[in-house]
Amino acid sequence: MSLSQKSSDLKRRMREALRGGGEKAIEKQKATGKLTARERIIALLDPKSFHEYDLFVEHAGRDFDMSDKYLPGDGVVTGTGTINGYPVCVFAQDFTVAGGSLGYMHAKKITKIMDHAMKLKVPLIGINDSGGARIQEGVNSLAGYGEIFYRNTQASGVIPQISVILGPCAGGAVYSPALTDFVFVVDKISKMFITGPEVIKTVLGEEISMEELGGARVQAEITGNAHFYSENEIECFEQIKRLCSYIPWNNTKKAESFPKKPPRTRQYNIEKLFPTNSRQPYDVKDIICSISDDSEFFEVHELWAENIVVGFARMSGNTVGFVANQPLVLAGVLDVDSSDKAARFIRYCDAFNIPLVTLVDLPGYLPGVDQEHAGVIRHGAKVLYAYSEATVPKITVITRKAYGGGYIAMCSSHLRADFVFAWPTAEIAVMGPEGAANIIFRNEIKGAENPEEMRKLKVKEYKDKFANPYVAAAYGYIDAVIEPQETRDMVIHALHISADKTIVTPSKKHGIPPF
């Protein structure tokens, strides 16, 4: 064969491999509002940056007439590319080919690109659209998942791992994402479950739709399995690009620096946004925007456990991770879910050299039988563990309430915050004035001629003595009492001088966090 004949043979083979599951399957995919695997990669990466590998891989199934079947690329597209110049390894499962199910060679392609990502120390993005383990390939499919889970775990905290759920994902197709750092879902398209509606009907006799069982909103609002929710695939890819701008390529690097931009103070005026009445709730996201560069805040887990707010912003051009109690929701208490959410985010930031800025305003951990029985002790302890373990710069600002365990947990100096600032409005005490007065002045209140008058008097007495930042300041537990409008400058300075912070931690294989 001449070179030109060989070239046309290559082109023919490529055309064949690139046709995926064929016209009919592609039409079905499009009818559900989904892009194809390659279209997704192209939409996500910089123009012309995608380089595909292993296009000619074929499946290794031999049973159930599989040897007669041609599954182009074995149902997964893999390669490398860039996002705003930021290098990434990527795979996208092709649902048009055997439902994107994971057979032996399909898994080999994924583990090969994962190994590249680890070797090259660049992020891995997985677009999941798969019915899970390929049933016809039996234990080889399970082995494939095992290999992927192992690599997910090895890569955890070394390179960013981002999962996108863009189809009905079952079984192993959701466990791998659960081991990664960030999971993105899209309305009406993403479905995640270990066992689908059919199995549930057979085993339990319960009927439920895929959407109700594990749709995008369920995963973003109820389970917390998903960190980001979008209305459509293109919006989802824009969110991923935005996330990539805040995080470093790997754990040996810092996130990219951007030009410093002042906050948009006309819209986000810290003094106007913070209520004068100490009982009035406010949106802590406004406070974050009033001190961050260009008033931009990229929230993680926006729809789940809204009593705590976590996400990325920039201060003086550099990425920081914000953790803030949200007084608008449940007065910003820590509970089972908000503790999980905060602890995970803190550990992410610590693993990837992102300094933490904590804004504190909470009455404490949420009391109640439900919470106690749901394990608030174990979950709440995760926050203590995560903050204590974190060695990145940690700056804390107490804006209002910092009561009891909440005071300690929200990155107090005792958990080794590097700098703790308090506004004059801060109330640092074992508990709120009402509760405290009822306990320590019980006898005086009971024995008084007018118990209600006495109660009010004692609440005031307690408030005057403890509901302020000065007792903590007198012991050196906070470093400075500052005006709200000084916050941005104080935090930026604290971050600047902590940039080369080093901490020597005790030698150990690893700790045992309260998982």
Residue numbers 250-289 binding ligand HXC by CB under 6 A: none
Beta bridge mates, 365: 334
Q: Hey, how many other C-beta atoms are within 10 angstroms of the C-beta on 275? A: 13
Task: For residue 292, give both structure tokens.
Answer: 């961050």
- Round to whole Å and give the CA distance between 360 and 332: 9
Pick the closest to residue 394 from 426, 365, 359 (CA basis): 359
Q: Cβ closer to ligand HXC: 133 or 349?
A: 133
Dihedral of the alpha carbons of 164, 166, 168, 170, in degrees to the nearest 10: -20
Binders in 192-251 for ligand HXC, by CB under 6 A: 196
Least distance (Å) from ligand HXC to the CB of residue 323?
31
Please tell me the distance from the alpha carbon of residue 494 to that of residue 479, in angstroms, as a whole number. 11
Q: Which residues contact 1 (CB under 8 A, 6 or more apart)?
A: 9
Closer to ligand HXC at the Cβ: 33 or 275? 33
Q: Which two tokens stand for residue 263?
A: 């906050």
CB of 366 to ligand HXC, least distance (A): 33
User: Minimum CB separation from ligand HXC for residue 79, in Å?
Assistant: 23
In whole angstroms, the minimum distance from the beta carbon of 135 to ligand HXC comes to 4
Distances (CA, A) of 345 to 229, 256, 323, 350, 378: 17, 19, 8, 9, 17
Q: Nearer Cβ to ligand HXC, position 134 or 400?
A: 134
Q: Shortest distance, CB of residue 99 to ligand HXC, whole angstroms?
A: 2
Binding of residue 61 to ligand HXC (CB under 6 A)? no
Position of tokens 């001629």? 449
- Position among 10, 14, 43, 135 found at the interface with ligand HXC (CB under 6 A): 135
x-or-dash string of contact with ligand HXC, 93-132, rule CB under 6 A: -----xx-x-----------------------------xx
Applying the rule CB under 6 A, the residues between 140 and 199 that interact with ligand HXC are 142, 145, 168, 170-172, 175, 196
Rounded Cα distance, 343 and 382, in Å = 6
Question: How many of the chain's residues bind ligand HXC (CB under 6 A)?
Answer: 16
In the complex, the smallest distance separating the C-beta of residue 188 from ligand HXC, rounded to whole angstroms, is 13
Nearer to ligand HXC by Cβ, of 175 and 258: the residue is: 175
Let me know: does 167 contact 30? Beta carbons within 8 Å: no
**Shortest distance, position 156 Cβ to ligand HXC, whole Å:** 17
Footprint on residues 335-374 left by ligand HXC (CB under 6 A): none
- Is the Cβ of residue 53 or residue 175 nearer to ligand HXC in the bound state? 175
Helix H segments across 121-185?
A: 138-155, 172-178
Shortest Cβ distance from residue 199 to ligand HXC (Å)? 7
> CA 269 to CA 80: how far, in whole Å?
43
User: Are the CB atoms for 399 and 287 separated by under 8 Å?
Assistant: yes
Among 108, 134, 394, 463, binds ligand HXC (CB under 6 A): 134
- Name the residues that contact ligand HXC, by CB under 6 A: 98-99, 101, 131-135, 142, 145, 168, 170-172, 175, 196
